[in-house]
């Protein structure tokens, strides 16, 4: 490759400048010697034959200038030595002028052809060079990209581990805090109730109203803490997944919850619910929270009607809990699964129940969602793998 580049890349040939003209002289000289040697056999015939070869050789080795020079020398040598009248640069016949012109023309065409060939080869070489350089640059970029990817992956892994550690610590702190907050809260609640019981007359009507507000606020606060702790427990549970008889679990749950049998409440399980792979405690928590909400979020003059049903979708089971409640506005349907998010502030609640459902579903490898129309009702779904 390197050798070729030297040869073809040179402007004229491998002998450039003065050396190219020396090649012209040498090759014309050689052609002259050969033609002189053959002169007794050829006579006036083939005066230019060896000089054609001399021109070809000169053009190839010395380039276009020396090539043209060789062709002129060839004409002069032929006319002087071989074309009658010999030892003169003039010709006798017009055909001899034509032959000389043809020789010069052929030499010029050959020079042009070799030049064109050389420049085509040079540009092909330049393209090959550029392609080679681009290839090398691409390889280098790919290597660099791989290196950066590896660095990035290890950084992400390291930061994720640190983040997990921090989140675990934070969750632990918030869990302990919530737990420890309940004791003083209970004391405040109990003392407020004692005041209401024993000193109600001395405190007076306005004081009693304030005390009742303290009791209600403390109860609400206690519920909030209890729900937060329940979320923490769900999130930190070491869960073992296994075969769950969902139909039995749901029917037992309905049996054991008095609010689901309150007068006017109707709850119906459609068909036999299929078994799933999950965790009994988490699944019970999911249905319990969904049922409680279905009973709670109904308009004042409406009797809650709840339907539980299932759909098999390949290896997945989708459970539906449908109600005739107040419904949920479209823009709130996603955020209500976040902690402390609520869509109906006029109803009591902590905004944690659905966050627990989502966490529990995720821990069991499932998903949860809702379809709802305000004023008509909601359909919560829970997807799990079938057993």
Task: Select the residue interacting with ligand ADP from 251, 351, 367, 386 (CB under 6 A).
Answer: 351
Residue 294 makes contact with ligand ADP by CB under 6 A: yes
Residue 61 makes contact with ligand ADP by CB under 6 A: no
How far, in Å, CA of 226 to CA of 112, rounded?
97
How far, in Å, CA of 27 to CA of 33, rounded?
10
Task: Select the residue interacting with ligand ADP from 69, 73, 215, 343 (CB under 6 A).
Answer: 343
Residue 328 makes contact with ligand ADP by CB under 6 A: yes
Which value, to the nearest 10 degrees, does the dihedral of the CA atoms of residues 63, 64, 69, 70 take? 60
Residue 317 makes contact with ligand ADP by CB under 6 A: no
Task: Select the residue interacting with ligand ADP from 326, 361, 368, 384 (CB under 6 A).
Answer: 326
Task: Select the residue interacting with ligand ADP from 13, 50, 62, 353 (CB under 6 A).
Answer: 353
Binding segment toward ligand ADP, per CB under 6 A, in 57-65, 90-98, 169-177, 352-360: 352-360
3-state class (DSSP) for residue 333: coil
Binding segment toward ligand ADP, per CB under 6 A, in 99-107, 118-126, 258-266, 337-345: 337-345
- Long-range Cβ contact pairs of 101-109 (< 8 A, separation 24 or more): 103/48, 103/51, 103/52, 103/71, 103/74, 103/75, 103/78, 104/71, 104/72, 104/75, 106/52, 107/52, 107/55, 107/59, 107/67, 107/68, 107/70, 107/71, 107/74, 108/68, 108/71
Residue 349 makes contact with ligand ADP by CB under 6 A: yes
Number of shown-chain residues binding ligand ADP (CB under 6 A): 21
Query: Rule CB under 6 A: which of 114-143 touch ligand ADP?
Result: none
How far, in Å, CA of 337 to CA of 382, rounded?
13
Task: Select the residue interacting with ligand ADP from 325, 366, 368, 382 (CB under 6 A).
Answer: 325
Residue 285 makes contact with ligand ADP by CB under 6 A: no
Binding mask 297-316 for ligand ADP (x = CB under 6 A): x-------------------
- For residue 67, the 8-state DSSP code is H
SS (H, E, C) 211-245: HHHHHHHHHHHHHHHHHHHHHHHHHHCCCCCEEEC
What strands, in cross-sheet order, belong to the sheet with 266-269? Answer: 266-269, 305-313, 316-322, 377-385, 367-373
Find the shortest distance in angstroms from Cβ 174 to ligand ADP: 17
Q: Where are the beta strands (DSSP E) in 86-210?
A: none
- Cβ proximity to ligand ADP, 78 vs 285, nearer residue: 285
Residue 288 makes contact with ligand ADP by CB under 6 A: no
Q: Name the residue whose CB lies closest to ligand ADP.
A: 349
3-state class (DSSP) for residue 367: strand
Residue 293 makes contact with ligand ADP by CB under 6 A: yes
Q: Which residues bind ligand ADP (CB under 6 A)?
A: 289, 293-294, 297, 323, 325-328, 336, 342-344, 349-355, 378
């Amino acid at each position: 490759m390197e050798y070729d580049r030297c040869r073809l890349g040179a402007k004229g040939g491998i002998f450039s400048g003065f050396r190219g003209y020396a090649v012209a002289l040498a090759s014309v000289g050689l052609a002259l010697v050969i033609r002189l040697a053959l002169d007794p056999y050829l006579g006036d015939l083939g005066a230019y034959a060896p000089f054609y070869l001399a021109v070809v050789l000169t053009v190839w080795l010395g380039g276009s200038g020396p090539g043209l020079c060789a062709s002129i020398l060839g004409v002069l040598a032929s006319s002087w030595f071989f074309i009658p009248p010999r030892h003169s640069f003039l010709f006798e016949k017009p055909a001899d002028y034509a032959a000389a012109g043809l020789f010069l023309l052929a030499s010029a065409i050959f020079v042009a052809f070799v030049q064109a060939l050389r420049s085509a080869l040079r540009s092909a070489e330049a393209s090959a060079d550029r392609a080679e350089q681009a290839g090398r640059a691409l390889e280098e970029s790919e290597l660099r990209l791989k290196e950066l990817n590896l660095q990035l992956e290890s950084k992400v892994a390291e930061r994720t581990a640190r983040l997990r550690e921090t989140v675990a610590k934070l969750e632990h702190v918030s869990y302990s805090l919530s737990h420890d907050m309940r004791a003083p809260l209970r004391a405040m609640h109990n003392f407020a109730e004692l005041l209401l019981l024993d000193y109600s007359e001395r405190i007076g009507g306005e004081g009693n109203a304030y005390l009742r507000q303290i009791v209600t606020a403390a109860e609400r606060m206690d519920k909030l803490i209890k729900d937060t702790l329940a979320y923490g427990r769900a999130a930190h549970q070491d869960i073992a997944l296994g075969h769950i008889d969902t139909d039995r679990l749901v029917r037992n749950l309905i049996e054991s919850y008095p609010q689901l049998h309150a007068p006017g409440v109707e709850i119906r399980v459609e068909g036999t619910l299929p078994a799933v792979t999950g965790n009994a405690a988490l699944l019970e928590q999911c249905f319990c929270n969904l049922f409680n909400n279905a009973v709670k979020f109904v308009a004042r003059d409406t009797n809650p009607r709840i339907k539980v049903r299932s759909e098999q979708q390949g290896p997945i089971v989708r459970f539906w809990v449908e109600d005739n409640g107040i419904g949920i506005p479209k823009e709130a349907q996603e955020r209500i699964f976040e902690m402390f998010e609520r869509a109906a502030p006029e109803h009591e609640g902590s905004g944690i129940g659905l966050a627990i459902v989502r966490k529990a579903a995720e821990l069991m490898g499932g998903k949860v969602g809702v379809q709802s129309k305000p004023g008509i009702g909601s359909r919560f779904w829970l997807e799990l793998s079938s057993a």
